[in-house]
Amino acid sequence: MLLLLALCAIVPLQGARAERDPILVPEVSQHEVRVRQGFTGTELLLFGAILDPAGTRAARGYDVVVVLKGPSEPIRLREKAKVGGVWLNAASTDFRSAPSYFAVASSRPVAEIVDEKTAAIYEFGTRFIQLSPTGEIDPAEQARFSAGLVDLKQRQGLYKEDMNGVSISEGVLYQARFELPSRVTTGTYTAETFAVTDGRVVSSAVAEVEVRKVGFERFVELFALSQSFLYGLLAVGLSVGMGWIAGRLFALV
């Protein structure tokens, strides 16, 4: 009987807490990014409002963290080793799912907003990306390969952090800007916004962006997927033909 009364008391408290939590209303400057010949990248503006459950201005201030992730993809990472003065492929590992693009922006440094456990749960930073290595791997080796993958993606402009990248106006409106480089993978990108207070994530909302190829690039992509064997033959034939033409031209010079 006492347990039943305790549960009945807890439920209203949880409901009251949920009713006090803010509501995030996210939006993105463009829901579709079209990749065509000559695409040099683009900028995404993620913005929105932080409101109380009644739809008015939130009574207190919140920190905001935005995580933008591209489609996950399997990846094999190889480690180079110098053998006899020559750099060769040595150890390697496979990741079942690594985000093709990953960027984090926050209103102030994440370390000042949440603890490491919370940051790891919500992936508030490149060192907290949840990778899925295949097979058995030593923890130290896994950490080394994970750090290597992040470093490689950062140098390619595909993994980014901006610990002061979210601006908040009047405690209500927020915005963050993300650069998508020319080599982005096509697919659905998810932008998840989190409201944080007292080291606790109290609300979240998701917006999506579709990155797709158009024009001739789209035709080539579809042809490669639907007729992979024929596409391979044409690619080889084109390479051989271009090599032959280049050889003839140099022979005439």
Q: What is the pLDDT of residue 206?
A: 94
Please, what are the averages of pLDDT over each run of 10 residues along the chain (253 residues)? 39 46 88 82 91 65 92 83 68 84 95 94 92 75 84 92 92 91 90 93 93 63 57 67 68 62
- Contact 228/210 with Cβ under 8 angstroms? no
Q: Using CA atoms, how far apart are residues 35 and 68, in angstroms rounded to an integer?
A: 18
pLDDT score of 141? 78
**pTM, to two decimals:** 0.73
d(CA 74, CA 159): 16
Residues in a beta bridge with 87: 82
Three-state secondary structure readout of 47-98: EEEEECCCCCECCCCCEEEEEEECCEEEEEEEEEEEECCEEEEEEEEEEEEE
Q: Is 24 exposed, middle or buried (0-12, 13-18, 19+ CB in 10 A)?
A: buried
pLDDT, residue 232, reads: 67
- Give me the helix-helix angle, 216-226 and 228-252, nearest 10°: 120
Distance CA 58, CA 56 (A): 6
Distance CA(245)–CA(233), nearest Å, equals 18
User: Taking the chain, what is the end-to-end CA distance rounded to the nearest angstrom?
Assistant: 98
Distance CA 92, CA 145 (A): 8
Strand order in the sheet with 23-28: 23-28, 42-51, 173-180, 166-169
**Number of neighbouring beta carbons within 10 Å of residue 159:** 21
According to the model, what pLDDT value does residue 252 have?
Answer: 62
Q: What pLDDT, on the 0 to 100 scale, is given for residue 56?
A: 58
